[in-house]
Chain A
Amino acid sequence: MENWSLFSLCVLLGLTSRWAVSFHSYSGAGKPPMFGDYEAQRHWQEVTYNLPVHEWYFNTTNNDLNYWGLDYPPLTAYHSLVCAYVAKLLNPEWVELHASRGYESHSHKLFMRATVLFTDILIYIPAVLLYCFYFCDGSSKQKVATALCILLYPGLILIDYGHFQYNSVSLGLALWGILGLGLGWDLFGSLAFTLALNYKQMELYHSLPFFCYLLGKCIKQGLTGRGFFQLAKISLTVLVTFALCWMPFLSDPKQPLQVLHRLFPFGRGLFEDKVANTWCSLNVLIKIKTLLSRETQLFLSFALTLLFILPSSLKLLSKPNLWQFKLALVNSSLAFFLFSFQVHEKSILLAALLMFFLFVFFHSMLPLLVKDGLLLPYVVTSLAFLFLSLYLLSHLTRTNEPLFWYFPFHFWFSLVAMAVLSFTSVWLEPPAKFPDLFPVLVSILSFLHFLGFIIYFNLVQLMEPQRKKSQKKTN
């Protein structure tokens, strides 16, 4: 069968799973007064449509920042504005200032879900297809299989189409950035990544590798000659993109500061909710949140993040090739996730560009998904993804060993542990003394995995072994 038909079948399967998951509940469904992320997105449409630009990030009588105030960069706001225009056409009640708070209806849900699907088809899916087509090694069958596995990754599907977010936009743009760099179109890549950064500040997790790679490349070309020109062009592209995105906010110096204040809420504390990162796990043993002062916490997290990210970035700077770049991306995002300030579970999506280990990441989101009423899609998609990726993996690699021996013992152990935890989280009642026992256990287990991964991947990057293509799910 021809490639185009196989790829289109993968896309259609991905789209079907996405839409089928969207039938289920979303974050905060039917839970006044705050509801959840779904209501946040709807509220942003309301705010951006009805209020002038300079009021979007400020606390005014019309804009109560405590009720889901905008805390993403301007591109998200513009996106919400566009959606709001469409919403106004379909049903003005959806974006009525103040009156539409907590608006929930079947047709509105369809509209919101459709906006996610639209941007997914526009940005993320083409990026994935191009990536698999141009940057995956192996036969065309392997490329198709990779595309299928990426498209069926449950984490993104459930967060975007279940919980409700637009991660596919920022991840898609970042992927376009990676594509650009890989194809040698540095300017395009920088442009795409800057846009991604202006969509969600979480993309900062990936920014250091991008920076180091481009800088390293320019240095290699000679800082006095072509390299300097290249560096200048890239910097110009980035600056111009930033300027364009932030243009409405540049008139008054107070504006950008306020926006930054919203984007990086250092006032909020080291962590919220149960997240699989260091601080949350450490908190179980030592109550750091209360022990250390806010400034110390900030400093500590900054220092540790930098510490963990430095080796990988330096290596990339010295050896700017694509393989190093990919590894650096993983390491950088893992480092940020594990050690930085105010991390949310969903941030792990950024490190999740690697296929194989995604499953652990996905499992770490279990408490969130259960809270949203997404248990059934979680079970189905994770089983399907696990099965599919294992099956395809075992069939497409050049080995005749039975599947069981192919993966190390701790892989199976982890799987079992995760399955047991999933089961107990849902069906058993936690003891009265520790009501949050299961979410915490999930977080700790995932944290331990992530710690293992970051050490492993740092070792891989720093020691630069020969390319093990069959095992590494190239991404």
Chain B
Amino acid sequence: TVMAAPVTNDQSWFFALALGVSFLKCLLINAYHSTDFEVHRNWLALTHSLPAAQWYYEATSEWTLDYPPLFAWFEYGLSHIARFFDKEMLVVQNLNYASPATILFQRLSVIVADVVFFYAVKECCKSLREDKGKDLLGKPSFILTVLLLWNFGLLIVDHIHFQYNGFLFGVLLLSIARHFQNRHFEGALLFSILLNLKHIYLYIAPAYGIYLLRCFCFTQSNDNIWSRYNYLKIWNLRRFIDKFYSSLFIKGQLPQVLSRLFPFKRGLCHAYWAPNIWALYNIADKAFSILGVKFKLLDINKLPKASMTGGLVQEFQHSVLPSVSPLATLVCTVLSILPALFRIWHRPNGARGFLRCLVICALGSFMFGWHVHEKAILMAILPLSLLAVESREDARIFLILSITGHYSLFPLLFTTQELPIKIFLMLLFTIFSLTSLKTLFRKGGALLNPLEATYLLGLIPLELICEFVYPLTVWQKTFPFLPLMLTSVYCALGVTYAFIRLYISLLTCSDSTKKIKTQ
């Protein structure tokens, strides 16, 4: 079954996939959008109406500006186009303003900004090591393109829930691609820009830092002699970024900006627990407290009454296990990524080793971080896609992480109207990733072992119980958070497992000179 189209330089499939997914995004314009929609509208309004000096002080709306300045400038740029759609959205006082023109504009801005993402994916495809496939559907670049362009998480979070992650991940993937292409300076620059767009990428900054220092400043042959030229380059880069940063607004605002960017008052877990270690910790604590009361080891009156799942801004204490402070989570995070950083310091595996370390940093911060949002799992899934089409073990980890991680995003779309969409799209992505990766790595037996397959299949009854059966029972009113808790705990198991496997693969992987099995 040879495709009749000329094989030499036919990249039209990329264009077709990109256009196709854009059409789908357009159809979702009228879907449910979360409060993040109002957040961005508010930022459009305040960047448009107020001078830069006041952007981080404005507090008319509860959704204050909590992204770094470069993103604020991005919103400012958008606001000039917004004027032609509906001027009213740019009035700060118009809280929750959502006219059809506003919705159309905001949705289109996300769709158009995704062009950056498309370009980045194209660049990533170029960096793949081997791209031979008998037919189009079996080519690694095709599979990678679909895994990235049609990623379920991105579609759901960006085009329904409403955010600009496509654009941001585009910058990240482009930076990674540049490192693959040995254009390190551009890669570093892009990452610095990214940090100034959304500070959540600080999670993976250590990977960049160590990798750049190791491979750029300290060349492999002379471990103890600094390659002065390269080091100066990096240093200049940092200085440039600093200047850029400070030129954007008056110096005195830094503390205010930082306080907006890092609101530590928010609590260990979000209202819906991200499937990380702390979810398991919470459940263990709850279990112990229930058991303790049952076996009369604890006095029920002495237990703190605060609910761990109530509200957005609530700090709570654990009843049995020690309470966790932000500092503790920071320490845990650092400890979790330290071995990986050491590993690429001592044995850098080129760009792929860097990528693996990056994913581990993202995942480690997800696992142990403070007030982690479940959307942050995308920071691990998307870069991992690049590794998944090249190595069997990575494909396996990717399948587990992506299916579990994507499922954990389900509670983000809780409306009945969006239920079929999220199920269809989830099935679409899952079936595609399972069958295409299985076909890519068909030599060598099954990709997932029975235990893993059972775990993943277990998501189906979980979904049926949480969204179909449970709402019809009596407990829906008394314990409304139970399905969410079940979901996050079940997914936390999968994510933890993927994290451990990823670590093992990093610590045991061979040098880049050895041939890596791809088929």
Contact = CB atoms under 8 A, between A and B. Distances in A.
Q: Which of A8, A12, A107, A383 has the most CB of B within 10 A?
A: A12
Given A5-B432, A23-B31, A17 B24 contact: yes
Contacts of A21: 27
Interface string A7-35: 01100110111011101100000000000
Interface string B100-139: 0000000000000000000000000000000000000110
B20 A384 contact: yes
B451 to A, nearest CB: 23
Nearest to B421: A19
Interface stretch (B3-11, B43-51, B319-327): B3-11
Contacts of B436: 1
A474 B287 CA distance: 62
Contacts of A15: 420, 424
B81 interface: no
Given A21-B27, A399-B4, A12 B431 contact: yes
A16 B421 contact: yes
A110 interface: yes
Contacts of A394: 5
Interface stretch (A304-312, A374-382, A431-439): A374-382
B254 interface: no
A140 interface: yes
B428 A1 contact: no
Interface string B422-442: 001101100110011001000
6 contacts: A1-B436, A8-B427, A16-B24, A23-B417, A380-B23, A395-B3
A2 B5 CA distance: 21
Nearest to B28: A20
Given A377-B27, A395-B12, 20 more contacts: A5-B431, A5-B435, A12-B425, A12-B431, A15-B420, A16-B24, A19-B424, A21-B27, A106-B417, A117-B420, A140-B1, A141-B3, A376-B26, A381-B27, A384-B20, A387-B16, A387-B23, A395-B5, A400-B4, A400-B5
Interface in B308-348: none
Interface string B11-33: 01000100110011011111100
A41 to B, nearest CB: 19
A31 to B, nearest CB: 18
A24 B30 contact: yes
Contact of A397 (B4, B417, B420, B428): B4
A17 B420 contact: no
B416 interface: yes
B118 to A, nearest CB: 16
A398 interface: yes
Contacts of B6: 400
Interface residues of A, number: 39
Given A20-B27, A376-B29, A395-B3, A12 B137 contact: no
A1 to B, nearest CB: 5
A411 to B, nearest CB: 20
A391 interface: yes
B417 A110 contact: yes
A387 B138 CA distance: 23
Given A20-B421, A117-B420, A391-B16, A383 B23 contact: yes
A399 B6 CA distance: 10
Q: Which of B31, B424, B425, B435 has the most CB of A within 10 A?
A: B424
B27 A13 contact: no
Interface string A369-411: 0000000110011011001100100111111100000000000
Contacts of A140: 1
Contacts of B30: 23-24, 376
A139 interface: yes
Contact of A2 (B4, B12, B23, B435): B435
A336 to B, nearest CB: 33
Q: Which of A23, A110, A139 has the most CB of B within 10 A?
A: A23
Q: Which of B6, B420, B427 has the most CB of A within 10 A?
A: B420
Nearest to B146: A9
Contacts of B138: 1
Contacts of A141: 1, 3
Contact of A12 (B26, B27, B416, B428): B428
A106 to B, nearest CB: 8
